[in-house]
Structure 1
Amino acid sequence: MTQLRQRMSEDMEVRNLALNTQRSYLQQVSLFARHFGRSPDLLGREDIRTYQVYLTNEKQLSPGSIHIAIAALRFLYKVTLEKDWAFEDVLPLPKKPQTLPVVLSPEEVQRFLDCVADIKHHAILTTCYAAGLRISEAVHLTLTAIDSQRMVIRVAQGKGQKDRYVMLSPKLLATLRSYWKVLRPKAWLFPGDRPGQPITRHAVAHACAKARDLSGLSKPVTPHSLRHAFAVHLLETGADVRTIQLLLGHRSLATTAHYLRIATNKVCATSSPFELLPRPVPPPPPPAEPQYF
């Protein structure tokens, strides 16, 4: 490990950045240095600009992926190397397109879950939908996180390193109890193949893709799709946006409000003005021809 990498790693630890964020930032800076074949402290603004053009035009990365690379470089040069640059100009963030996720209907969710054969995979994917969890949160659930007395699930250190409680529905509790009676997990609610480790996100994503193929659904289905479905279905049954924000663990209400554009009972609640147009008046019938015979 180089001295610069060690210093950046320590800077992130001091600021208590999430472990996944630390790994991602170090990887992005490593790719940046490898691209030029030089240490980042020997590179300047023009090199950074050249690298951004490379990521956009040659690598053709999505704006979201470029955001991660820029966030890592901003941390390196602003915090670790203590540059006093105007970072909004030196490292501008590309504008993200405003896209809406494709959401499964309740019937499609049930059809998908019916195709998850493995009992552990079925339990964790059901939990993602029934509690609106991120996959990273679901895989790290422990047995003690399930509070059947208060009918809540404690999500420890979710995104942003924040704890929160989410709903534990009676049907989900029954599903988890049936699963526990079969596999008897000890510490992690959903243990992985490696002793003492939880199931990996990759394993859950693979099981999800397999069930989606078996279900014959035309819509894309990922573990995060189930979280989207949770939010939209709550909106469509009358839950308010603020409650959904707390359940999802969103920092900003504006993030949750995006689901208002998807919920059919919100989008289609107002009648089209076409329905208000007066009905066309039928033309009068032609005069009857006289009868001569």
Structure 2
Amino acid sequence: MIGIKFSPDKLIQGLIKSLPDPKWSKQHNMAYIPNIKGNLGIIFNTFKGTVWINYNRFLTNRPINTSNETVDVEWFRKRKPIPEYRLCPEEYLLKLELKRYANSTVRTYVSFFEMFINHYKDKELHAINESDIRVFLQKLIHRNVSNSYLNQSINAIKFYYEVVLGMPNRFYEIERPRKESKLPTVISKEEVLSILEHTHNLKHRCIIKLLYGSGLRRSELINLKLVDVDSKRMLIRVEDSKGNKDRYTIISKTTLGDLRIYYKEWNPREYLFEGQKGGKYSAVSVLKIVKEAAARARTKQTVTPHVLRHSFATHLLESGVDLRQIQVLLGHGSSKTTEIYTHVATNTFKNIKNPLD
């Protein structure tokens, strides 16, 4: 059965009577209807716009992040109060901590949620409704923020109402911007070689070779440890990548040769690439290395670590590697994500005769 527990209210009682075959349980002190397909939807449509409904017991719980990364929420708790600035509530921080969200996600959610609650600093949180949220999002749109920025704002707000307060995601209907369909930026093999030729530092050359030759994300590269390079099998183990997934990807013979020389010269202790004081190499430094090498090579496109990853996938596809194999190497959860490279691979267009010719 579906039990319906509510505070005494004549309007709610009247709506319950309109449900299919409602009954009252004295034992549980609540109304109930049969738990059959379609009845949850009927409840949703009946009470829509009138009350919040907690569907959590009927929805599959999503697994929490099982990454071993230390979630740093304490920093937000220890911040000094700022006059006339509303800080993120403790229950919000606690839920982020319990769900072990990645530190980057924690920073993003707290930042956007504080921006939202300070827009309505004179209103209690429980008094902010859907109309208020839409007005806030409309102001962001008028600032010409990107769709990504807008989506992050929505996610941070929805996290409070749906995850912290346990309100249903079906009921909380906030419109999202239309999904953009942009093609990945890809550079040619010749441009990749030119970038490598203009990278004179051995450590920097190893970094660029791994980004391109193994299709690594920047975060995956800086998290690589010495034990992750399997020279016998010519593979690299990538742990806790996007979506908390592990995978293997390939490594080239030339990269492995460079890495051996680099190891003898630099003698890293734990991570494959470490900063001057030890620990992980900086993500900002990786971006700077790629951009400066591309500038020296005078590439027409703006080159980032992710452009090298896109180029890796596209060049594999152009050389005849199966799309499913590329999906595995990139660590994509869905083949649809990998299929985007068919839109930029040259072999997609080679057999098409131009009507002008």
Q: How high is the TM-score relative to the length of structure 2? A: 0.72
1:224 equivalent to 2:309? Answer no
1:188 aligns with 2:271: yes
**C-alpha displacement at 1:4, in angstroms?**
5.8
Question: 2:157 aligns to what SS in structure 1?
Answer: helix
Q: Could you tell me how far apart the structure 2 residues matched to 1:207 and 1:40 are?
A: 45
Cα 1:68/1:3, change in 2 over 3 Å: closer
Q: Deviations over 1:40-98 (max 9, x none)?
A: 4442212211111111112x111122112211211111010223464562x22211221
Amino acid at match of 1:6: E
CA contact (8 A) 1:124 1:139 kept: no
What is the aligned residue count? Answer: 272
The 5 A counterparts of 1:209-220 are 209-220=291-302
Q: Deviations over 1:247-273 (max 9, x none)?
A: 101111101000001000122233335
Selected match of 2:136 from 31, 47, 51: 51
Tell me how far apart the structure 2 counterparts of residues 85 and 100 of structure 1 sit (CA, whole Å): 31
Distance 1:129 1:43, change over 3 A: same
CA distance in structure 1 between the partners assigned to 2:157 and 2:131 by the alignment: 13
The corresponding residue for 1:140 is 223
Report the CA distance shift for 1:236/1:255 in structure 2 as closer, same or farther (over 3 A).
same
SS in 1 for 2:239: strand
**242-251 vs 2-11, which deviates more?**
2-11
Q: Is the 8 A contact 1:29 1:73 kept in 2?
A: yes
Q: Which residue of 1 aligns with 2:283?
A: 201
Rounded Cα–Cα distance in structure 2 between residues aligned with 1:152 and 1:255: 23
Partner residue, 1:288: none
Q: In structure 2, how many angstroms separate the alpha carbons of the residues matched to 1:173 and 1:148?
A: 7
Q: Distance in 1 between matches of 2:166 and 2:301?
A: 47
- Structure 2: distance between partners of 1:176 and 1:98: 37
Instruction: Determine if contact 1:191/1:198 at 8 Å carries over to the other structure.
Output: yes
| Cα distance change on mapping 1:85 and 1:105 into 2, 3 Å | closer
Runs of 4+ in 1 over 6 A off after TM superposition: none
Q: Equivalents in 2 of 1:117, 1:249: separation in Å?
A: 30
Asked whether the equivalents of residues 152 and 168 of structure 1 are also in contact (C-alpha less than 8 Å), the reply is yes
- For structure 2, the residue ranges without an aligned partner over 5 or more in a row are 1-76, 78-85
CA 1:86–1:211: 2 relative to 1, 3 Å: same
SS for the counterpart of 1:164 is strand
8 Å contact kept, 1:145–1:155: yes
Identify the residue that residue 106 of structure 1 maps to in structure 2: 189
Aligned residue for 2:270, secondary structure, equals coil
- The corresponding residue for 1:27 is 111
Aligned equivalents of 1:202, 1:81: Cα separation in 2: 36
CA distance in 2 between counterparts of 1:122 and 1:269 reads 36
Aligned partners of 1:190 and 1:199 also within 8 Å: yes
Q: Amino acid of the residue matched to residue 107 of structure 2?
A: R
2:176 maps to a residue whose letter is: L
* Residue 207 to residue 41, structure 1, CA distance change in 2 (3 Å): farther
State the match for 1:151 in structure 2.
234
Residue in structure 2 matching 1:123, options 206, 216, 228 = 206
Give the partner amino acid of 2:242.
Answer: K
Q: Call closer, same or farther: CA 1:41–1:201 in 2, change over 3 Å.
A: farther
**Per-residue displacement from partner, 1:180-212 (whole Å, max 9, x unpaired)?**
1221111010002343x2111111111222112
Partner of 2:162: 78
Q: What is the CA–CA distance in structure 2 between the aligned matches of 1:247 and 1:14, rounded to whole Å? A: 31
Partner secondary structure for residue 113 of structure 2? helix
Write the letter of the residue equivalent to 2:226.
L
- Residue type matched to 2:99 in 1? R
Query: How many angstroms apart in 2 are the aligned matches of 1:32 and 1:14?
Result: 23
Corresponding residue for residue 244 of structure 2: 161
- Whether the 8 Å CA contact 1:232–1:262 is kept in 2: the answer is yes
The alpha-carbon distance between structure 1 residues 146 and 85, as it changes in their structure 2 partners (threshold 3 A), is closer
* Counterpart residue number, 1:235: 317
Q: Could you tell me how far apart the structure 2 residues matched to 1:15 and 1:63 are?
A: 26
**Contact 2:215/2:330 (8 A) holds in 1:** yes
* Inter-partner Cα distance in structure 1 for 2:126 and 2:251: 50
- Report which of the two has the higher share of helix: 1
**Paired residue for 2:149, among 53, 65, 87?**
65
Give the drift of 1:112.
Answer: 1.2
Tell me if structure 2 keeps the 8 A contact 1:137–1:158. Answer: yes
Give the SS at the match of 1:163: strand
* Cross-structure match for 1:281: none
Gaps of 5+ in 1: 276-293
8 Å contact kept, 2:87–2:114: no
Identity of aligned residues (%): 35
